[in-house]
Amino acid sequence: MTTGEIIDGKAFAAEVRARVAEGVAAFRAKAARAPGLAVVLVGEDPASAVYVRSKGKATREAGMESFAHRLPAEASQDDLIALVERLNTDGAVDGILVQLPLPKQIDERAVIAAIAPDKDVDGFHPENAGRLASGLDGFVPCTPLGCLMMLKDRLGDLSGLDAVVIGRSNIVGKPMAQLLLGESCTVTIAHSRTRNLPAVIGRADIIVAAVGRPQMIKGDWIKPGATVIDVGINRVPAEEEGKTRLVGDVDFAGALPHVAAITPVPGGVGPMTIAVLLRNTLVAAHRHAGLPFEVEGL
């Protein structure tokens, strides 16, 4: 039995980061400064702290300036917004990322809205969401943009393909659908309450799974030759007692005989998120410096 190709997200993300580093070097030569990314962490959530450290390391490796800001878990919403407003006016900062989730006393929507749209490299600000929906230039959330880059690298022209996005979050599902519409795909947004989900998925040339339910999408639902991007990261019990392992939203082993290509979990979409964050920061720096963004492959 033949099996599909496994899309190596780590390798592809490394290529993107290398192109970003080349773009950073060229930017520094023209602007006489490095692009700057500020990352804000509130509290001591262990997973968030790991993400912040990895983002800082990747930023420095690309030749950018990394600015880390930490606030205590009991910080108020006013404290956080005051910090964001200072970063909005800091000329050394091109991109601002506030690590989510935030403590319960802080309204995430208010904080995101406080970030200057031209520094919103996460692409979550309502203005950037509106620009994406309207087909205008703006910042796009990193994970869906990374998914699109992998799809175009694998498939080339996506025009006319039938795409199903499973999941309707503001972070992945909705922007992913908008990006695919922008590539002239025929797009369906499905979710956990979609009736006859196997039939909906079964007609798709492209499947982007971002519903957050472990191995919900079964292999025999998938049309032979489809390309699957699995955004899900779910921790489930491992065979060894007391251990856990990561799985996606797609039954990987069951899907592999059906697909043309599929991203694994881990090692698929995840590495692309930070790579695209660096790409967005480089774009922001060019815009702030009044320079055209002309980095090949980005």
Domain identity same for 199 and 266:
yes
Domain identity same for 81 and 171:
no
* Residue 89 DSSP code: T
What pLDDT was estimated at residue 165? 98
H/E stretch holding 252 reads helix 252-255
What pLDDT was estimated at residue 1? 52
pTM of the model: 0.94
**CATH number of the domain to which 100 belongs:** 3.40.50.10860
Per the DSSP assignment, residues forming a β-bridge with 228 are: 207, 262
Question: Quick check: is 296 in a domain?
Answer: no
Domain identity same for 146 and 110:
no
Q: What does the block give as tokens for 7?
A: 């899309």
Domain identity same for 98 and 151:
no
How many whole angstroms separate alpha carbon 208 and alpha carbon 181? 13
Domain identity same for 170 and 247:
yes
Q: What does the block give as tokens for 19?
A: 């192109």
Amino acid in the structure at residue 276: V
**CATH number of the domain to which 172 belongs:** 3.40.50.720
Domain identity same for 247 and 156:
yes
Mean pLDDT of 85-102: 97
Coil, strand or helix at 11: helix
Cα separation values, 284 from 115, 179, 250, 278, 280, Å: 13, 19, 34, 10, 6
Mean pLDDT of 159-181: 97
What pLDDT was estimated at residue 230? 98
**How many separate domains does the chain show?**
2
| Percent of the chain residues topping a pLDDT of 90 | 91
Cis peptide before 101, with omega less than 30 degrees from 0? Answer: yes
| Percent of the chain residues topping a pLDDT of 70 | 99
Q: Find the domain containing 41 and state its range.
A: 32-116
Active-site annotation, residues: 55, 99, 122
Question: Quick check: is 39 in a domain?
Answer: yes
Question: Quick check: is 127 in a domain?
Answer: no
Question: How large is the greatest C-alpha to C-alpha distance in the chain, in angstroms?
Answer: 59
